[in-house]
Every structure is written in structure tokens, then in C-alpha cells.
Amino acid sequence: MDSATEFEQLRPVMFGLAYRLLGSAAEAEDAVQDAYLKWAGAERASIGSPRAWLAKVVTNLCLNRLTSARAQRERYVGPWLPEPVLTSDDVLGPLETAEQRDSVSLAMLVLLEQLGPVERAVFVLKEAFAYSHREIGAILDISEVNSRQLHSRARRALDRSDERRVSNPREVEKLVESFLSAARDGDLPALESLLTAEVTAWSDGGGKVTAARRPVHGATRVARLYAGMFASVAQVSITIGEINGGPAVIATAGDALFGILGFEVVDGRIAGLRAVGNPDKLAYLSRQLSRSGWPAGS
């Protein structure tokens, strides 16, 4: 097998790793391409395990990017959300388990922003890719003991509640369908019944499209927000697709992607809504939808 073919076989895994570390599909593509250049120029005889070698290269390329990304996100206009990715084609690697799907959810990627770069790398390598602490130590040039400590610290910082956060995709899809029906009808009581009392809605327009600059809290306010929003977008087509491992609303206007709306479900109700409308953040998803011949919505 030639080196280019070998790399292409590993590309989805490397892209999935870079995306989880960066929360940006565009930056993840750049990191993987930089890794390919290093791969193409490396002495093949010195590479024992291509997968391990590339994981180390990609992780360290992402760590360099995370430092500058954090500074940029501090200046971001309004709430920052990750770039959405269509995951029905395994572009981020297999998402066969609830835990794998949760590892790429918009909610999780936002939570990961709380971690320092090395903590984030340890958490992602362990939780999403099941690397041992010995392997993580080799990737990050830290001790196995340090890897364990960083992983424990990351879990405490994220205050994980996996039993409540992870939901069956079909159940979530039914909930999303009910949400869409109630929002289109302007049925506020029905909408509120689908939301937790403490629900929060975030909108990422990046200062480039109209979006709330601050999160909206509470079932009543969120229900009114989306009932009003759906009443004002009559010319927008709405469909449901798998975004970041779970059912999400995909809105298109003509041939252009208008935005997406992701859902965080806790104990059978919607606890978080994350809308991405910044056109820069929709570019990768737009290309995915074009390649897949995404159908017009209803």
C-alpha cells in the first residue's frame, strides 16, 4: 500500500480527532492537511504505527492552534458555538454508541472549551478514542500518571452527567418533530411542555447575521422566541438531519443553507437549543449537503 492510500484510510479518524479538539471543521481540515505534509516527508521506516504517529502529529498541531483560537473566541461577537457537521456519513469516524455520539455533540464541544489545551487533548483521546493513559502519555510527551491526573481534572471540570445527557436518537427525533410542529403552529403551551424549566437557547450569528447576542433562559421566553422565529421564516425550508451525532433542524432558503438548530435533551425534555447562523461556520456543512444532494425541506 502506498503512503497516500494509507493516509486516506486514516483521514476520517484524524479529522474526527482534530474536530473534537478544535470545534472547527475548517481548522480541522487544515490540521489534517498539515499532518499529511509531515507524513509525506517522513521516513517511512521510522514509523512503527501509522495511526499512533499521525495521532501524535495531529494532536500537537491542534494544541498549537488552540492557544490562538482561545484568544479569537474571547473577541467573538455573541455566543460562540462549534461549526456543525453532518455526521450521517461517518465523516468523524463511527458513531455507533451513545457515548461516541455525545463526544461530538454541540453541547459537549462547548463544554470542552472550559478545559486547557492539554486537558482537552487527554479527555478527547481517552473518552472518544479509548487510548490508554500510557498511549496518551506518548502522544503528549507526558507521564502516564500525569495523563491520569489531567483526565480526572477534566472530568471534574465538566461535571459530566452522562446518564441524563445521552439520549436515544429516535426519541430525540420525535421530540424535535413535536417541537417543529408546535413552533410552526405558534402553540406556546405545547412548546413549553417540551422544554425543561431551566432551558437555555444560544444563537451564533458571529455579528454577520441577526442573532441574539445573549443566551435566552427559561421555558416561557424560549418558547416565545422560537414561535416568533418560525412565524417569520415562511420562505425557509425545514428538514431534520443528523448533525453532530444527533437529530437537528436544517434550514435552507433556496439553494443556500440558512442555519441549523441542535438540541440537548435531558430526561426526555429539551434542556438546550443551539442555533448556528454564522455563514462562515456553515461553509463546511454546506459543502457536505451539496455533495449528498440534500433534499428540499417541507
Q: How far apart are CA 185 and CA 181, in angstroms?
A: 6
The predicted model gives 252-270 an average pLDDT of: 92
Q: Which single residue is written with the C-alpha cell 443566551?
A: 215
Question: Would the pLDDT of 163 be above 80?
Answer: no
Q: Which single residue is written with the C-alpha cell 480527532?
A: 17
What are the contacts of 32-41 at 24+ separation with CB within 8 A?
A: 32/58, 34/61, 35/61, 36/7, 39/3, 39/7, 40/3, 40/4, 40/7
pLDDT at 167 (0 to 100): 63
CB atoms within 10 A of CB 85: 24
Which candidate, 248, 249, 200, places its Cα nearest to that of 220? Answer: 200
pLDDT category at 255 given cuts 50, 70, 90 is: confident
Q: Mean pLDDT across the chain, nearest whole number? A: 90
Which candidate, 21, 245, 18, places its Cα nearest to that of 123? Answer: 21
- What are the grid coordinates assigned to 48, written together? 512503527
State pLDDT tens for residues 73-93.
778 899 999 999 999 888 887
Q: What is the DSSP letter of 103?
A: T
Domain 3-83+114-161 matching CATH 1.10.630.10: the answer reads: no
pLDDT at 295 (0 to 100): 56
The predicted model gives 134-151 an average pLDDT of: 97
CB atoms within 10 A of CB 86: 24
- E strands, 116-233, in order: 195-204, 216-217
Q: What is the DSSP letter of 112?
A: H
- What are the grid coordinates assigned to 94, written together? 463511527
Q: How far apart are CA 139 and CA 53, in angstroms?
A: 8
Strands 195-204 and 269-276: parallel
pLDDT category at 97 given cuts 50, 70, 90 is: confident
Q: Which single residue is written with the C-alpha cell 502519555?
A: 137
Question: Would the pLDDT of 165 be above 60?
Answer: no
pLDDT at 235 (0 to 100): 78
pLDDT at 219 (0 to 100): 98
- 8 A C-beta contact, residue 179 and residue 201: no
- The amino acid sitting at 183 is A
pLDDT cut 90: percent of the chain above it: 69
Who wins on pLDDT, 162 or 231? 231
Q: Distance of CA 8 to CAs 27, 49, 51, 232, 266, Å?
A: 18, 15, 11, 44, 37
- 8 A C-beta contact, residue 290 and residue 218: no
CATH numeric code, 167-292? 3.10.450.50
Q: Which single residue is written with the C-alpha cell 500518571?
A: 145
Domain boundaries, given as residue ranges, for the chain:
3-83+114-161, 167-292
pLDDT category at 166 given cuts 50, 70, 90 is: low
pLDDT cut 70: percent of the chain above it: 95
The predicted model gives 219-238 an average pLDDT of: 89
- 8 A C-beta contact, residue 137 and residue 296: no
